[in-house]
Amino acid sequence: LQWLDGHARHRLAGGPRPPKPPRHGRPRTVHEVRLWLRTLLAAALACGLLQLAILFLGDPDASAPLRSWQLVALRAL
């Protein structure tokens, strides 16, 4: 959300341009690893919440769509 706030502030409110990510070297690698870890955390959280919903339903047929969404979250990695 911080990224979106910075871009909206720049485009809509005349704020300063948001900083660009590093282009090369170790800073770029660190930036990309952080993004991947955020994605990993989001996918793990989504799979966990979907698993809670599956356990709450208790019916394998009714929970099939939720299981397919778990696979979608894992494919994002």
pLDDT digits 0-9 by tens, 30-51: 999 999 999 999 999 999 999 9
Residues of the chain with pLDDT under 50: none
Does residue 13 belong to any structural domain of this protein? no
pTM higher than 0.75, yes or no?
Answer: no
pLDDT of residue 53: 93
Does residue 1 belong to any structural domain of this protein? no
Q: What distances in angstroms separate CA 35 from CA 5, 21, 22, 39, 67, one per listed residue?
A: 17, 11, 13, 6, 25
Does residue 19 belong to any structural domain of this protein? no
Half-sphere exposure of 33 (CA within 13 A, CB side): 6
Q: Which domain holds residue 65?
A: 25-77
Does residue 17 belong to any structural domain of this protein? no
Is residue 53 within 8 Å of residue 63, measured between CB atoms?
A: yes
Does residue 47 belong to any structural domain of this protein? yes
The total number of structural domains in the chain stands at 1
pLDDT of residue 6: 85
Does residue 8 belong to any structural domain of this protein? no
pLDDT of residue 2: 78
